[in-house]
Amino acid sequence: MEAEIVRRIAHLSRIALPESELAQVAGQLDSIFALVAQMQAVPTEGIEPMAHPLDLQQPLRADQLRSETPSREELLASAPRAEDGLFLVPKVIE
């Protein structure tokens, strides 16, 4: 796997992979994809893909608030930064 591809998928994954790790990660991904390649040998023409073990319809429910929904304070308690009941992030618009 070329460094350029690893750089691109790291960006798509929103992971700041340092340049110094690219070669090592590329090598590991190569060995993982060598394992994955074994599956390519299986004839699958006409086989319906299986997305999920249960052949069930997704249930529908009324679009209502649940009474036991956590409070705003509880939801913000683990936030790395919060203020006035809001999550804080670096300035997006100058």
Residue 13 Cα distances to 7, 10, 32, 36, 47, angstroms: 10, 5, 18, 20, 30
Q: How many CB atoms lie within 10 A of CB 7?
A: 15
Residue 65 in the binding site for another protein (CB under 8 A): no
Indicate the residue among 23 and 36 with the shorter CB distance to another protein. Answer: 36
Binding residue (CB under 8 A) for another protein from 2, 20, 40, 84: 40
Alpha helices in the chain (DSSP H): 3-12, 19-36, 72-76
**Shortest Å distance, C-beta 32 to another protein:** 6
Residue 23 in the binding site for another protein (CB under 8 A): no
Residue 18 Cα distances to 5, 23, 25, 31, angstroms: 14, 10, 10, 20
**Shortest Å distance, C-beta 47 to another protein:** 4
Chain positions contacting another protein, by CB under 8 A: 5-6, 9-18, 25, 28-29, 31-42, 44, 47-54, 56, 58-59, 61, 68, 70-71, 74-75, 77-81, 87, 89-92
